[in-house]
Amino acid sequence: MGNAQLNTKPKPASVELPPPQYQNLVLEQKIIENQIPEELYLGWEKLTDADMKIIAYYTIRKNEVI
């Protein structure tokens, strides 16, 4: 085994999620309009469990860590 095999990064898994059935258009628009994902502030929202599914869906779609 050469060092080339040890230095390769694994490719992220491809995850296909259907959009959540519940919609919160205000939350979804805020996520879509956000240009700096790591700074999305949602403290003003009273988020529900269903809202968190929307956030998870868009985060996974962007393949970014929040």
Domain that holds residue 27: 18-62
pTM across the whole model: 0.62
Q: So what's the pLDDT on residue 39?
A: 74
HEC profile for the chain? Answer: CCHHHHCCCCCCCCCCCCCCCCCCHHHHHHHHHCCCHHHCCCCCCCCCHHHHHHHHHHHHHHCCCC
In a domain, 1, yes or no: no
In a domain, 5, yes or no: no
Q: So what's the pLDDT on residue 66?
A: 47
In a domain, 6, yes or no: no
Query: CA 48, CA 52: separation in Å to the nearest integer?
Result: 6
Q: How far lies 2's CA from each of 6, 8, 14, 63, in Å?
A: 7, 11, 28, 30
Total domains, the chain: 1
pLDDT by position in tens, the chain (length 66)? 555 556 676 665 666 778 899 999 999 998 888 866 667 788 877 899 999 999 888 888 776 544
In a domain, 2, yes or no: no
